Amino acid sequence: MNHYFGGLRLSTDKKWLFFLIGVSRMFAQVLQRFNLCLVVNRHKLLEIQKKDVETLCKRFTIVPELPSDQNKLREVIKPYDVIIGVLPLNLQIQILQNKKVYMTFVMTSLGVADNEEEANKIASQYPDRTVILYPAKQGEKYRVTRYDGLKILKEIKIVDEWILQHPI
């Protein structure tokens, strides 16, 4: 008996078939579309970020920030399936406690520059994927970051260990 996957004829080896079924299920999960997403971002989204959000979300709303008060936060995120952004740990925890999906934009630092010209030179290595963060104060440097994609945060694990322990 012949099996076909994506137009290719496959061997009848059951291990191979189960592997392909598993891979196709994995991709189906990854490409799940959500009805309504909340994007938290103070800056204009890069085109590639916007396309990624549009791939995952049927509809989305962009806000510059979320409330830090837990009750207000619960109200704001209630209608959304997914919250997307780069958020502080306390907000990430609260989002997961409210049984919401949290995704983060993965941004990699490419370095800092003393002036805009140097920052543009660094950014030119990855056209359409870089963000230049201008100095907030006099004397600060330009920061250049590259957008690498979206990650879903499934669990936050805190592990502690004793540094100093006093006997009872």
Residue bearing the bigger pLDDT, 9 or 163: 163
Q: What is the dihedral of CA 30, 31, 37, 40, to 10 degrees?
A: 60
Strands 34-40, 82-85: pairing is parallel
Q: What is the pLDDT of residues 79-103, one digit of tens each?
A: 999 999 999 999 999 999 999 999 9
Q: What pTM was estimated for this model as a whole?
A: 0.74
Site of tokens 């950014």: 123
- Where in the chain are the domains? 1-31, 32-105, 106-149
Mean pLDDT across the stretch 120-147?
94
Mean pLDDT across the stretch 154-162?
89
The CATH number given to 32-105 is 3.40.50.720
Confidence of residue 32 (pLDDT cuts 50, 70, 90): confident
The 10 Å Cβ neighbour count of residue 103 is 21
